[in-house]
Amino acid sequence: MIRFYYSPAPNPAKVALFLEEAGLAYETIAVDTRKGEQHEAAFKAINPNAKVPVIEDGETVIFDSNAILLYLAEKTGRFMPTDLAARGPMYSWLMFVASGIGPFSGQAVHFKHYAPGEHPYALNRYDFEAWRHWRIIDERLAAQPYMLGADYSVVDMAVWGWARAVPFVLGEEAWKALPNVKRLLDEINARPAAQRAEALKARFTFKAEMDDEARKAMFPQNARLPG
């Protein structure tokens, strides 16, 4: 059975959605990142990057959400195009989410909600880039129902993981400017698999407070700051 290392955050959500969509049997192992469990030696032995998600499939260990989506799509033969020509754009858009949507959205959240002090330059850069990436997704979804065209795929699952957080990333008014992302989000949210994926977090008690312990675990770079 697949072992799924999970926390209630955008990147693990993508994997939860795939596991549920494909009906794969899996055991969920909670990793409370606000308590620092991602830094424990046993966890870093399976993901030296100290982040969730990770899956173990027998002896095979896969970390990084988009790598896991590709692995599971290949394992099951589901939610990915079968011919190579159509898989080309799948790789492009998955990497676009992995290298653009995720990192810029994450940094926008950091500087808007968590960084101590005022950082107008950093905030402006990450907010601008997060918006730019989300507008590209929105334009694509204006022209076709799903990221790869007519069919729901792993790319939509990758977009869904972060789309759930768009108001937190870009602001409460963001949906007015991104109606096609919202349409995809609402459509996926209505799928029973997405509801089961969302329900996972209720099975565990994760630390909610962003207190000193959580900041130490999530933002270890702060230890280098003076004072």
Ligand X SMILES: N[C@@H](CCC(=O)N[C@@H](CS)C(=O)NCC(=O)O)C(=O)O
Minimum distance from residue 210 beta carbon to ligand X (Å) = 12
Nearer to ligand X by Cβ, of 37 and 127: the residue is 37
Element (H, E) at 28: strand 26-30
Q: Where are the alpha helices (DSSP H) in the chain?
A: 10-22, 41-46, 65-76, 84-96, 102-109, 120-143, 154-163, 166-170, 174-177, 179-189, 192-199, 212-218
Nearer to ligand X by Cβ, of 61 and 86: the residue is 61
Binding site for ligand X (CB under 6 A): 7, 9-11, 33, 38, 51-53, 64-66, 102, 218
Q: What are phi and psi of 212, to 5 degrees?
A: -60, -40
DSSP state of 59: T
Minimum distance from residue 157 beta carbon to ligand X (Å) = 12
Minimum distance from residue 183 beta carbon to ligand X (Å) = 24
Minimum distance from residue 185 beta carbon to ligand X (Å) = 17
Of 148, 18, 55, the C-alpha closest to 94 is 148
Question: In the numeric block, which tokens belong to residue 34?
Answer: 């606000």
Q: Alpha-carbon Rg of the chain, whole angstroms? A: 18
CA angle 46, 48, 53 (to 5 degrees): 60
In one-letter notation, the amino acid at residue 58 is G
Q: Are 73 and 62 in contact (CB under 8 A)?
A: no
Nearer to ligand X by Cβ, of 65 and 153: the residue is 65
Nearer to ligand X by Cβ, of 106 and 145: the residue is 106
Nearer to ligand X by Cβ, of 38 and 153: the residue is 38
Minimum distance from residue 89 beta carbon to ligand X (Å) = 20
Minimum distance from residue 65 beta carbon to ligand X (Å) = 4
